[in-house]
Amino acid sequence: MNHDRYSDDYIADILRAARVFAFVGASANTVRPSYFAMKYLLGKGYKVHPVNPGLAGQEILGQQVYASLADVPAPVDVVDIFRNSEAALGIAREAIGLKDKLGLKAVWMQLGVRNGEAADEVEAAGLKVVMNRCPKIEYGRLSGEIGWAGVNSGQISNARPKLSPLGVQGLRLR
């Protein structure tokens, strides 16, 4: 697979199939990207388990924080990595080891996180992988929500955009 480009269908299939994310490297800091992404996905009806050993036992956005991926209750559809590219390999290997216990379908590496070895191992384990993307941004892009603010449309307007073939309904859980 070419990890520099993903088809819209590939990304949309992951987002449609997912119900539960585990955010490894989640932050309680309200200005951190993991906090924004978690808040957004919770608002879209996904369940999100934050994973951060320094915050274990606390809550982020009303969700219990776990010390490690192994502590997260099943099911988990997607492990979302909010750590640096070097840490991604170890997290990917942990996710692979837990794939059957969790019912894992995909490993997602956030913007700026790329690790080819991790991607190869995840795919060899039969899981989907995404690198250098954010599910919050991808959901907004594929659903047309980003266009509502004039982003990526070339113009700012109060008119609702024509939705992509995937449409908002195509990605909504409820």
Read off the pLDDT of residues 108-150 as tens digits, 9 standing for 90 and up. 999 999 999 999 999 999 999 999 999 999 999 898 887 655 5
Query: H or E stretch including 118?
Result: helix 116-124
Whether 85 is in a domain gets the answer yes
**Surface-to-core class of residue 124, CB atoms within 10 Å of its CB (0-12 exposed, 13-18 middle, 19+ buried):** exposed
Q: How many domains is the chain partitioned into structurally?
A: 1
Domain that holds residue 94: 8-134
**pTM for this prediction:** 0.85
Question: Exposed e or buried b for every residue in 90-121, given b needs 16+ CB within 10 A?
Answer: ebbebbbebbeebebbbbbbbeebebeebbeb
CATH number at residue 34: 3.40.50.720
Residues 55-66: tens digit of each pLDDT: 999 999 999 999
Whether 139 is in a domain gets the answer no
